[in-house]
Amino acid sequence: MSVTIFHNPRCSKSRQTLELLKSNGVEPNVVEYLKQPPTSDALTIIINKLGVNVRDIIRHKEAEYKEVGADNKDLTDAELIALLVATPKLIERPIVVNGEKAVVGRPPENVLDII
């Protein structure tokens, strides 16, 4: 099993999700996405695995949301993905990927569905 968590160590939900994975015997590949943002292609693949719209993984309450124009309803998915890559703080966290499956760890117990 190759599990990856897109992790922010400053986020309590992200820390809880990582701990839940480990307590279930999973040693995930930890990607601190604020330091190593995914590429546009990688983020597109993750969104497809999540089975959601790109807007569903945007953190709307962050100040950067309006600052970078992510609130513009006319932006295409490709434009939104480019904004997320450039401003990874706006990506919902944590995201856990296991093969062809992915979930957002909010609540952390969501990861139990894919491990």
Instruction: Confirm whether 106 is a catalytic residue.
Output: no
Average pLDDT for 20-30: 97
- From 23, 18, 8, select the one nearest 93 (Cα to Cα): 8
The catalytic position among 3, 9, 10, 11 is 11
Q: For residue 22, what pLDDT is reported?
A: 97
Report residue 53: phi and psi, to 5°. Answer: -85, 150
> Which amino acid is residue 77, in one-letter code?
D
Q: For residue 45, what pLDDT is reported?
A: 98
| Local confidence band at 54 (pLDDT 50, 70, 90 cut-offs) | very high
| Local confidence band at 34 (pLDDT 50, 70, 90 cut-offs) | very high
Q: What CATH number does residue 108 fall under?
A: 3.40.30.10
Q: Is the pTM of this model over 0.75?
A: yes
* Host domain of residue 38: 3-113
**If you search the block for the tokens 């599990």, which residue do you land on?**
3
Element (H, E) at 43: helix 40-50
Q: How far apart (Å, rounded) are the C-alpha atoms in residues 115 and 113?
A: 6
What is the overall mean pLDDT for the chain?
97
Domain count across the chain: 1
